[in-house]
Structure 1
Amino acid sequence: MTSTGGAAPASATGAGSGSGLAGRRRVFYLDNLRAVAVLAVLLLHASICYMVAAPQWWYVVDPDVSTAFTVIVLIVDVPVMSAMFLVAGYFAVPSWRRRGTGGLVTEKLIRLGAPWVFGVLVLAPALTYLSYVSRGIPMPYLQFWATDFWGPRYQQSVYWFLGVLLALFLLLGVVLRLRPSLAERPAAPTAEPWRAVLAVFVVGAVAATALSPFFGLDDWKPVAWVFLVQPARVALYPSFFVLGIHAERQGWLAGDGWRPSVRAWIPASLATGIAYLAFRVAGYSATVPARIVGGVLFAAFCVSAVLAALAGFSRWADRSTRGWRTLADNAFGIYYVHPLVLYPGALLLVGLAVPGALKAVVVLAVTVGLSLAISAGVLRRAPILRRVF
């Protein structure tokens, strides 16, 4: 039902390099949006453990379920990853301008490629094995790793995002190597913002429609055993990445450039969100017509929610405080290690005679605290690891 995605930090997306607009201050609200998106990922993953009808493959499912967590999952799952691809795209070309193609490729191979490979080969199998442990399926871990994990249980946990993002950065490096003029900013904006936003929606809706006979919104598919994606949503990943690139070139989202309107996009996100949620609860099924409607509503809500988030953070969270900086600096570390804390924690609470809502709060609070401590105290301090995180 949900992505297992997460958000990458400044060091991984390129957002740590400044605003990306020469002569202008850092775009603090994009850092803050990314930090909150990471926390939303933690909320999403904790909620799945306590939702009604959780995915059969999910790591830990507690019998104390609630429809409230189902609603949280359905809503939070839609815009989080797209927002992360947009922010990554926004800071991608400024990173290329500073480092050149070789520098950009090297940087992303270190900060995205290395943790992605380690996550897929080492961490994802251990996390997936929890689905056997939590259900009492008797199989030694090494046997599981050698058989089921590389078969019907193959997945990349939250680390799939790093692989897809790395591919987009490498492709961008090739494109800019061939046509460096694409990194130049026009003297004046050459396109209205609404056209670019509409294009993202159209691409997402058309792709979901075309793939509806084969995939639903929540289906996962490995691509050559290298990448793992949700096909019905996959067109939105590069679309938002390119939208971020386009926004930076046009001078949007920073300084005196265009920013989404709170008055327009927050009501739009509420309307499309209600429509999407109502359809998912009452009308979504495996039929092709239902998948088409669901895909169109998903794209509409995704676009409007991301724009609403940009509008809200631009107006109310465009500042730097100690708390915001701490979260932003540790976003990648929190994202990377949180499954190692969250799922074992949820497993320890299974069977405990307390309400599921209380369990979820405890698991979420402990996960945020421990993940932040591990990131700040280990990942960002160790000589080798701090080069990545």
Structure 2
Amino acid sequence: MSEQTTTPPLGQQEGRPAPPASPSPAPRPTARRLAYIDNLRIVLTVLVVLHHVGVTYGNIPVWYFTEPAQDPSGLALDLLVVFNQAFFMGFFFLISGYFVPASYDRKGPRAFLRGRLVRLGIPLLLFTLLLRPLINQEQFAVWAAGAAEQGDTLPYWVFYLISWDPGPMWFVEVLLVFCLGYMLLRRIRGTATSDAPARQAGPRVPHPVPLLTGTLAVVGFTAGLIALTYVWRLLVPTGSYWPFVGLPTPYFLPQYVLLFIVGALAFRHGWADRLPRGAGWAGLAVALIGAAGHLSSLDGTAATGLRALAGAAWENVFAVGIIIALTVLFREVFNGQGRFGRFLSDQAFGVYFLHPLVLVGLGHALSGWEAVAVVKFAVMAALALPLCWGAAWLLRSVPGARKVF
């Protein structure tokens, strides 16, 4: 066997010692896919679709195409809309806030800003400029008829300009503002990327939050949310609308802000993993109590004084309870994802973007069918969900679309 010769490394030739190895740079945190949070996003996206189907056939005409209920079953759809509204968009902001710190840590401020503008700004512009004209023809007809009654005409290009509204993409618009606020705060604080928790690089071992500490924290947060919501609603009454922003329910803005902050803090402190299982059952019990109180406050009369405070209290108690219950439930029971679940998760943002177009089209297609409200709701929902996910898959099949959706 011939002897194998090797060349000594540079610095060890001619008997010289090798220089000390330079320390490896600390790895930046990497994004880690969490199946249970992905599954929560799927469910919340389904609730968004069902919410707007409920608005289509209920008694709350705040959608592009509506057929107000002509029977008592419309009340059930109204309740679905009311209880959905109490928590589901706030939950979306919490989940979005959870992933912001890692994204900022990994990319740095410039790349983070560029990524947010691409992932949020482009869909916002596409919806407002292109999809909006396809789905607001009913509104144009109403406005044009009103102008005709006044002896005037309303050209479509004028309507296009004065009806500027991001529709459901208000969420993306507000989220973009929150992300910019987070970036500004980090820049002011000068927070280094090295403060990202080490758990991002490997498996995490959750340490449950002490019962008393966790309970006091949740109670304190809920009380603060109730107080802030009540004061805010004295300034922004229920039913107000911000046209340019498109925020259909600005009186929920305190909840959106605080839950986004909670999401960012939950990432830093691992709160989602540290919630004990018992917190899920406690959250469910609190949510049921809040739901009962919230239901008793929905009698249609104007909410003033102590009544308004009670309404804000029941509503937010329900929201906090159901968010905790669902977080623990999905972490413990639905913390896995097969190919189908991954498919649903991958298309979720595309579904959010496209679902108004699908629902308005289905609404027109079913408009000639006479049926009770809940039956039309069920049929449209059964048709809309697969159509929305299929449309989102087609959208993401367009070259370059996956960078945005």
Q: TM-score, normalised by structure 2?
A: 0.79
Pairing 1:157-236 to 2, within 5 Å after superposition: 157-181=167-191, 184=195, 192-194=213-215, 196-222=217-243, 225-226=244-245, 228=247, 230-236=249-255
Instruction: Say whether residues 1:263 and 2:281 are aligned partners.
Output: yes
Q: Which residue of 1 aligns with 2:266?
A: 247
Instruction: Say whether residues 1:385 and 2:401 are aligned partners.
Output: yes
Query: What SS does the aligned partner of 1:77 have?
Result: helix
CA change 1:303–1:39 in 2 (3 A) is same
Q: Deviations over 1:191-228 (max 9, x none)?
A: 94445534542343223322333433443224xx3463
CA change 1:181–1:57 in 2 (3 A) is closer
Instruction: Say whether residues 1:28 and 2:38 are aligned partners.
Output: no
Stretch of structure 1 that moved more, 330-339 or 269-278: 269-278
Query: What SS does the aligned partner of 2:247 have?
Result: strand
Q: 2:393 aligns with which of 357, 362, 376?
A: 376
Query: What SS does the aligned partner of 1:300 have?
Result: helix
Give the residue type in structure 2 aligned to 1:384: G
Pairing 1:8-157 to 2, within 5 Å after superposition: 26-51=33-58, 53-55=59-61, 59-65=65-71, 66=73, 67-133=75-141, 137=145, 143-144=155-156, 146-147=158-159, 155-157=165-167
- Are the counterparts in 2 of residues 127 and 157 from structure 1 also a CA contact under 8 Å? no
Q: How many Å separate the matches in 2 of 1:169 and 1:339?
A: 25
CA change 1:30–1:44 in 2 (3 A) is same
Q: Deviations over 1:40-95 (max 9, x none)?
A: 111111011221x3236653224445222122112222111011111111111011
Q: How many Å separate the matches in 2 of 1:111 and 1:133?
A: 33
Instruction: Say whether residues 1:321 and 2:338 are aligned partners.
Output: yes
Q: How many Å separate the matches in 2 of 1:150 and 1:199?
A: 45
Give the residue type in structure 2 aligned to 1:60: T
Question: Considering only CA atoms, is the larger Rg found in Structure 1 or Structure 2?
Answer: 2
Q: Which residue of 1 aligns with 2:17?
A: none
Shift of 1:286: 4.8
CA change 1:82–1:212 in 2 (3 A) is closer
Q: Which residue of 1 aligns with 2:25?
A: none
- Are the counterparts in 2 of residues 155 and 228 from structure 1 also a CA contact under 8 Å? no
Query: What SS does the aligned partner of 1:232 have?
Result: helix
CA change 1:59–1:23 in 2 (3 A) is closer
Q: How many Å separate the matches in 1 of 2:302 and 2:261?
A: 31
Structure 2, gaps ≥5 residues long? 1-27, 199-206
- Are the counterparts in 2 of residues 253 and 259 from structure 1 also a CA contact under 8 Å? no
CA change 1:217–1:49 in 2 (3 A) is same
CA change 1:195–1:145 in 2 (3 A) is farther
Give the residue type in structure 1 aligned to 2:266: A
Shift of 1:139: 7.5
Q: Which residue of 1 aligns with 2:364?
A: 347
- Are the counterparts in 2 of residues 28 and 318 from structure 1 also a CA contact under 8 Å? yes
Give the residue type in structure 2 aligned to 1:177: R
Query: What SS does the aligned partner of 1:253 have?
Result: helix
Structure (1 or 2) with the greater helix fraction: 2
Q: How many Å separate the matches in 2 of 1:56 and 1:380?
A: 29
Query: What SS does the aligned partner of 2:136 have?
Result: helix
Q: 1:335 aligns with which of 349, 352, 365?
A: 352
Instruction: Say whether residues 1:274 and 2:292 are aligned partners.
Output: yes
Stretch of structure 1 that moved more, 96-105 or 365-374: 365-374
- Are the counterparts in 2 of residues 265 and 311 from structure 1 also a CA contact under 8 Å? no
Q: How many Å separate the matches in 1 of 2:67 and 2:380?
A: 13
Q: How many Å separate the matches in 1 of 2:346 and 2:375?
A: 29
Shift of 1:174: 1.7
Shift of 1:105: 0.5
CA change 1:120–1:25 in 2 (3 A) is closer
Stretch of structure 1 that moved more, 162-171 or 172-181: 172-181
Query: What SS does the aligned partner of 2:345 have?
Result: helix
Shift of 1:25: 6.2
CA change 1:294–1:199 in 2 (3 A) is same
Q: Which residue of 1 aligns with 2:21?
A: none
Q: Which residue of 2 aligns with 1:8?
A: none
RMSD: 3.1
Q: Deviations over 1:155-196 (max 9, x none)?
A: 321010000001111111122123243862579999944455
Q: TM-score, normalised by structure 1?
A: 0.82
Query: What SS does the aligned partner of 1:161 have?
Result: helix
- Are the counterparts in 2 of residues 48 and 54 from structure 1 also a CA contact under 8 Å? yes
CA change 1:106–1:70 in 2 (3 A) is same
Shift of 1:352: 1.4
Q: How many Å separate the matches in 1 of 2:312 and 2:76?
A: 23
CA change 1:98–1:57 in 2 (3 A) is closer
Q: How many Å separate the matches in 2 of 1:116 and 1:199?
A: 35
- Are the counterparts in 1 of residues 55 and 81 from structure 2 also a CA contact under 8 Å? yes
